Amino acid sequence: MSREDLDLGALNHALSSAQISKDKEPAAPSYSNEDDAGGVQITCFTEVVNETTFHFQIMRLPKQIYAWIGCNSAKLGHLYAAAPMRPNSTVGVTSVLGGASDNTGSSIARRLVLKTGLNIILACNIPKNSPMLEADAEKLLAQKLISLGYTRPKSDCLHS
């Protein structure tokens, strides 16, 4: 067997174990540690709010969530990584791609960690100095995460 055949076989196996949905929710959403043992779950959706089109992609990976928010285009934008910090129940956020002066999205990533308790990788191309667009995008993303069962019960949330 050639190296290309092995790589293709591994890719096919990974894709066949992934659960991909478009605007569909799992039958029984729940937050549990059992979710961390499974494969990748991908959800894509688009919403229009006040004549602004938001595109979303959510990838649920073991112990982390990757989310992408596109605002009126399909560009990657800035990339942030956020994680719960122990022992004091705070959240650390860093910019992986993009300028440090434009922190659009870093606050969304921070609040998503508080809601999910998971590591968050967030890419977004929301325009700088557009707090209403940022609030609309965060609200839509949070609603979808809740409907998918990716958030923790309020009693388990980190407090900061």
Q: Which domain range does residue 12 map to? A: 3-156
- pLDDT tens for the chain, residues 1 to 160: 544 444 555 555 555 555 555 554 443 334 444 444 568 899 999 999 989 999 999 999 988 999 999 998 888 888 999 999 987 788 989 888 876 667 788 999 999 999 998 999 999 999 888 899 999 999 999 999 999 988 877 655 555 4
Both tokens of 25, joined, read 């929710």
The CATH code of the domain that includes 92 is 3.30.230.100
Q: Can you say whether the dihedral through the CA atoms of 50, 22, 95, 140 is positive or negative?
A: positive
pTM of the prediction? Answer: 0.70
Distances in Å between the Cα of 95 and the Cα atoms of 55, 110, 111, 121 are 21, 12, 15, 10
CA distance 19 to 46: 19
Total domain count, the chain: 1
Q: Which helix (H) or strand (E) holds 68?
A: strand 64-71
| Strand 78-85 to 119-124 pairing | antiparallel
Sheet of 119-124: strand order equals 19-22, 41-49, 52-61, 64-71, 119-124, 78-85, 90-97
